[in-house]
Structures are given as C-alpha cells and as structure tokens.
Amino acid sequence: MTIPERLRLIHSQIAKARENALFDQPVKLLAVSKGHNEAAVRMAMGAGQMIFAENRVQEAGEKFSALRMEGTAPELHLIGPLQGNKAKDAVALFDVIHTIDRISIAEKLASEMEKQNRSLTFFIQVNTGEENQKSGVLPKDLPELIKSCKTLGLNVIGLMCIPPVDAPPELHFSFLKKLADEHQLTQLSMGMSHDFEIAIRYGATHIRIGSAIFGERN
C-alpha cells in the first residue's frame, strides 16, 4: 500500500474506533516520521496530513528544515525524551512537546521560550507502568510537576503515556485518563500503530502513528 492509501485506511479505522469510544472526543492523527525521510513526509502532506511527530530533535531539524524554508512546514510535535542541552533547538523547532517529565526540563523550556519569544504547547509524560528504563514522571510525582509547570507559565494541555509492551494497554490508557481528569487536563496523547483503536476507546485525543503510515523503520 502507498502512504496515501495507508492514511485513508487509518482515517476509516479512527472513525470506526470513535463510534465505540466511551467519550465523544475529537482525535488528532500525528504521523510519526522518525526513521523515514523527507520524501515520505512530503508524500503524506500530499495526502493532506499536516501534523507530524519526531522523537529526536536533531533528526527532526534536518528533515523539516527545507519545508520550513519553503514556508510550508506542517505542525511538528516532539514525542521522544528531551535532554536539557537540546531544549533550545526543541523550542525553536517544535510546536508541541509531549515529553515534559521533570521540573528541570520544564524550567529550561520556559526560559528558552522567553528568550526566543516563542510559545509552545505541552503534555507531561507519565510513566504509568513505573518502568525503570522508561522516561516519564512517576504518578506520585505528577501533582508537583503540574504545579511547577503552572508556576512557570507553561501551557500544559494534557498527559502522554507509552504502556509497557507486555501489559494490557487499556489499564494504562484508563489510568492516564483518570489522572488527566483529576487535574482538569483535557488532552490525552496515547495510542500507537498497534493499539490506537483501544486508546481512542479510552479517550485519546492525540494518537501517534508511525509504521502503519510509513511502513517498518530500518
């Protein structure tokens, strides 16, 4: 299947999943272009896809620089872990960052936005499975992080999670929804190629789909 055909299929799957959803939320499709080239991005844009997501700042910068110079850059989201020394480039490049997970990175982002006079939108990544190797704030530390982000003036609109590979994702999706509700956050970044229909059922507003659109990564 071509990229436009895959996108059409996913849109119909999204529509079907919304019929079975427990909530009536709108769903944004983020095309995860990591591991694929600029030509693939342009092909998806040709099929009407205007939101992309990358997990590395440098790779995203290289891939999207020509599009930005042409003035046709799509909306760009960062979905990978962010190091402090990349905050400057991330603020310059991205519109939305899904991976705030500690106060120190929130502080750096706030200070970079002020320096660059840019205003981004944010999600906080929650390590719902409390996995050692995974980034994301632990659920018990979430209230304090949200409070700090508010104090810093960051526009946090929602929560993001990546469920453990060996766990039923619905437990993690419904847990993330509950945490978001507790903090009056309305947006939920959850669901990938293999589980986006379940994520939509449990309230996802932003689904992050790579391989189902672009094929397998090398």
Ligand X SMILES: *Cc1c(COP(=O)(O)O)cnc(C)c1O
Q: Least Å distance between CB 189 and ligand X?
A: 8
Q: Is 14 in the site for ligand X (CB under 6 A)?
A: no
CA-CA distance, 19 to 61, in Å (whole number)? Answer: 37
Is 36 within 8 Å of 23 (Cβ atoms)?
no
Quote the distance between the C-alpha of residue 205 and its chain's center.
10
Is 29 within 8 Å of 49 (Cβ atoms)?
yes
The tokens describing 101, both together, are 């997970």
Is 205 within 8 Å of 190 (Cβ atoms)?
no
Nearer to ligand X, 16 or 194 (CB): 194
Stretch that binds ligand X, among 3-11, 56-64, 131-139, 207-215 (CB under 6 A): 207-215
Convert residues 43-82 into a mask of x (bound to ligand X by CB under 6 A) and - (unbound).
------------x-----------------------xx--
Contacts of 13 (CB under 8 A, 6+ apart): 196, 197
Q: What sections of the chain are H helices per DSSP? A: 3-19, 38-46, 57-69, 87-93, 103-116, 142-152, 169-182, 196-201, 211-214
Quote the distance between the C-alpha of residue 217 and its chain's center.
18
Convert residues 155-174 into a mask of x (bound to ligand X by CB under 6 A) and - (unbound).
-------x------------
CA-CA distance, 127 to 183, in Å (whole number)? Answer: 16
Task: Please pick, from the candidates 34, 56, 88, 102, the single residue that binds ligand X as defined by CB under 6 A.
Answer: 34
Which residue lies nearest ligand X, judged by its C-beta?
Answer: 210
Stretch that binds ligand X, among 16-24, 116-124, 150-158, 190-198 (CB under 6 A): 190-198
Q: Is 127 in the site for ligand X (CB under 6 A)?
A: no
Q: Least Å distance between CB 208 and ligand X?
A: 4
Stretch that binds ligand X, among 63-71, 81-89, 113-121, 202-210 (CB under 6 A): 202-210
The tokens describing 152, both together, are 């810093």
Q: Is 209 in the site for ligand X (CB under 6 A)?
A: yes
Nearer to ligand X, 31 or 179 (CB): 31
Q: Is 187 in the site for ligand X (CB under 6 A)?
A: no
Main-chain dihedrals φ then ψ at residue 74, nearest 5 degrees: -75, 170
Q: Is 211 in the site for ligand X (CB under 6 A)?
A: yes
Summarize as ranges the residues that interact with ligand X (CB under 6 A): 32, 34, 55, 79-80, 162, 192-194, 208-212
